[in-house]
Amino acid sequence: MSGDQKVKGPWLIATIIVAIIAIGLSIWGAITFATEKEWSWGKATAALGFGTWAVIGGILWFAGTAFFIMELAGFTIYNRKLVRYKLNWDSIDISIVALTAAVYGGALAATGGLTIIPGFTWIRPANALTPVFGILFGIPGCLGTAIGNFLADAFAGYLGWGSIGGFIGNFILAYIPYKMVSDPSLRSPKAWFELYVSIIIGSIWCSAYISWWLYVWGPQVSPWPLVGLPAALVWGWFFPFVIVNNLLVSAILSGPITYILYPVVKNWGLLWTDRIKISS
């Protein structure tokens, strides 16, 4: 057995395990959501109490916002260090933002009528595109994803103060795979392992981010509520549903889509690794 095979073996096993967890969890969540009168996932998350979620959601919200501002300001985490990076934001980068925003926003809007929580969320198969855009295009792809979600909110009739949470929440959904997947070509078991782990983390983080935003601007917390969703519905319904909604399609489709699109994106010189320079 060659050294290379020795290295690949454990990653392959780990990838299979984490893929089964991601796909299994999402299918389990979707089936229980569709069949149970009182959704067990919702009861489980609500049982932890609003105080617990306020703290966990708050930490993830502030961390997510910090990452968003940090990346826009030209800083990133590279090899576990905070470093400067340079992206020219030339016409190609701006076109990537427009491309990803139009494709993601349009694809989300196409299923805009499949409502789950009126005014807040719907069944969104296009969520599978978020890790793809993050892994292949980097920050322009993440930004396009955020704008696309905002656009889709308008098309679905859901535009409101909660859309700001959705904006950065979807940025994070693309950002976590962008930062965690070390090989965008997905030509190694390690890259697939990182993809599945990043999809699980991104789905939970995105949902917690949006839920916390809806919670703090909701009628139970804010003296000037700008969001009408009660806390029980935020943490006992919206939060677990958005995790399942993100996870289900991403765990199944994002990997194969990224694998197929990688050579095209690379040949066109649009891959983020070819477009940014890490300064220090």
Partner 1 sequence: MQLEPSLLALLVFSVLVLVLGLVLWAIKKPAGKAVTAMGIGLVITFLFYFAFVASGVYGKPGAESGYVLNILGVMVLIVGAFVAIYYIKKARTLQAES
Q: Which residues bind partner 1 (CB under 8 A)?
A: 72-74, 86-87, 89-99, 101-103, 105-113, 139, 143, 146-147, 150-157, 159-164, 224, 226-227, 268-270
Q: State the nearest-atom distance from the C-beta of 154 to partner 1, in Å.
A: 5
Nearer to partner 1, 16 or 110 (CB): 110
Q: State the nearest-atom distance from the C-beta of 135 to partner 1, in Å.
A: 18
Residue 221, amino acid: V
Closest CA to 214 of 174, 158, 175: 158
Gap between the Cα atoms of 214 and 131, Å rounded: 24
Q: State the nearest-atom distance from the C-beta of 138 to partner 1, in Å.
A: 12
Closest CA to 126 of 142, 107, 112: 107
Q: State the nearest-atom distance from the C-beta of 89 to partner 1, in Å.
A: 4
End-to-end CA distance of the chain: 39
Nearer to partner 1, 192 or 209 (CB): 209
Please say whether the dihedral angle defined by the alpha carbons of residues 51, 52, 53 and 58, taken in this order, is positive or negative: positive
Nearer to partner 1, 8 or 266 (CB): 266
Nearer to partner 1, 44 or 154 (CB): 154
Q: Note the residue count of the chain.
A: 280
Q: Which two tokens stand for residue 82?
A: 């905070």
Q: State the nearest-atom distance from the C-beta of 268 to partner 1, in Å.
A: 7
Query: Quick check: 145 and 102 in contact, CB under 8 A?
Result: no
Return the SS3 of 140.
helix
Nearer to partner 1, 76 or 250 (CB): 76
